Amino acid sequence: MSSAPIGILGGTFDPIHHGHLRIAQEALEQCKLAQVRFIPSGTPPHRPAPQVSAKMRWEMVRLALNGSPDFLVDVREVFRTDPCYTVNTLKALRAELGAQQPLCLILGGDAFLQLHTWHEWQSLFGLAHIVVLQRAGGLPLGNAMEKADPALRSEYRARLVPGAGALHEAPAGAIFVADMPALEISSTDIRRRCADAKSVRYLVPDAVTNYINTHSLYRTC
Ligand code: ATP
């Protein structure tokens, strides 16, 4: 396989925070990715509508990534009003980047454990590898998988690879669990702090704190 894998990090980013940035950095380094593309969702299908507009969430992602040459923002989902299914985004990326380009979908452990509820979820393995990073507060992934959906568990067991090298050897189809320091940060917690008039400094990049304050975002939960 000629080129290094490209990482894909989808999210609502309502707002983006240091947990998102750190999973991208861990995946970049441990998997030797060429880059990570952050794809803010316009209309996320699996959750309630975001609190702030797609444009503002995208602007906060842009501010957060400023000065990180390995991280790019991809706007293909932001302004769509129909539900944005990851399978369709990956099909579009695959068509643009070619059949041989390895792609790695980066997911927190909480998102991975719900993968079986995603639209056409089993097609995802034909389009990308999956890199999972443990999320603070959850069971260790190995233990959580024992209680996971049986179909997801059998995909996990069949596709799990012990090293990131496998992600360079095929365009898609493997699952790799990368190390992640526990960072108990979530957008939900940040929104709650803002609603309580508490500071979110050091949980999000300074430019994002300034944006939230300037636009008086998340004043209600
Ligand atoms: P919310 O609290 O609104 O549900 P969130 O903090 O989970 O938001 P998302 O934008 O929904 O953020 O997450 C995008 C991706 O980042 C998901 O795969 C999620 O699991 C992962 N992620 C977010 N925060 C962390 C974290 N602190 N550690 C590991 N993974 C994370």
Q: What is the extent of the structural domain holding 146?
A: 6-184
Domain membership of residue 219 (yes or no) is no
131 by Cβ neighbours in 10 Å (0-12 / 13-18 / 19+) ranks as buried
The pTM for the full model equals 0.96
Residue 218 falls within a domain, yes or no? no
Q: What DSSP line would sit under 36-71, residue for residue?
A: EEEEE-SS-TTSSPPSS-HHHHHHHHHHHHTT-TTE
Pocket of ligand 1 (CB under 6 A): 11-14, 19-20, 23, 107-108, 110-111, 133, 135-136, 180, 183, 185-188
For 88-141, write each residue's pLDDT tens digit: 999 999 999 999 999 999 999 999 999 999 999 999 999 999 999 999 888 899
Q: Which atom of ligand 1 is nearest to the CA of 13?
A: 10
SS3 content of the chain, % helix, strand, coil (to 5): 40, 15, 45
What residue owns the CA closest to ligand 1's atom 15? Answer: 11
Compute, in angstroms, the gap from residue 2 CA to the centroid of ligand 1: 31
221 in a structural domain: no
- d(CA 189, ligand 1 centre) in Å: 11
Residue 155 is part of a domain; what is its CATH number? 3.40.50.620
Question: Using one digit for the tens of pLDDT, what is the confidence trace for 13-30?
Answer: 999 999 999 999 999 999
195 within domain boundaries = no
Let me know if residue 26 belongs to a domain.
Answer: yes
Number of folded domains in the chain? Answer: 1
Residue 204 belongs to a domain: no
* Cα 78 to Cα 75: distance, rounded to the nearest angstrom: 5
